[in-house]
Amino acid sequence: MWRGKYPHMLEPDYPVWERFLDTYAGSILKLYYDVRVGVGGSVPGDVDESMARMYRAVTAKRLDALVEFQDEVWLVEVSSGPGLRAVGQLASYLALYAQDPKISKPTEPYLVCDRLDPDLKTTLRLYSMHYLEV
């Protein structure tokens, strides 16, 4: 379970993620960071294919982490102080991942955080999304 700078993860979220790793490392088969989902933005103007590919890659949405366990995959958003934005991101990642699943296992969306207010817990449960306060 590599530790260091996690691609595109905010630095204040590192301690939250590392507590998650401390708890779940023994169960994780594979761990992927900064996983692209979706197709990215519409390519502007008349550009060659290499530029179009680069533009789509840069504008693609990215999971903080994709965690593969024996029987399922977790799509993970990490936040030290989550709000409605984190819930929206997680819902979007789930929808986009479903269009092109990277691993053929049941998929579960998880918000990994250090604290979560009751309204966000209610919202996550309503949309069948999970949370872990670590």
CA atoms of 107 and 97, how far apart (whole Å): 9
Q: Rounded mean pLDDT of the chain? A: 92
Rounded Cα gap, residues 93 and 98, in angstroms: 8
Percent residues over pLDDT 70 in the chain? 98
Please tell me which residue, 5 or 23, carries the higher pLDDT value. Answer: 23
Tell me which CATH code domain 11-133 carries. 3.40.1350.10
Domains of the chain by residue range: 11-133
Q: What is the pLDDT of residue 78?
A: 97
pLDDT of residue 1: 57
Query: How much is the pLDDT for 121?
Result: 97
Q: Give pTM, 2 decimals.
A: 0.89
pLDDT of residue 94: 96
H or E element, residue 33: strand 30-37
- The string of DSSP letters for 37-88 reads ES--SPPPSS--HHHHHHHHHHHSEEEEEEEE-SS-EEEEEEESS--HHHHH
| pLDDT (average), residues 107-111 | 98
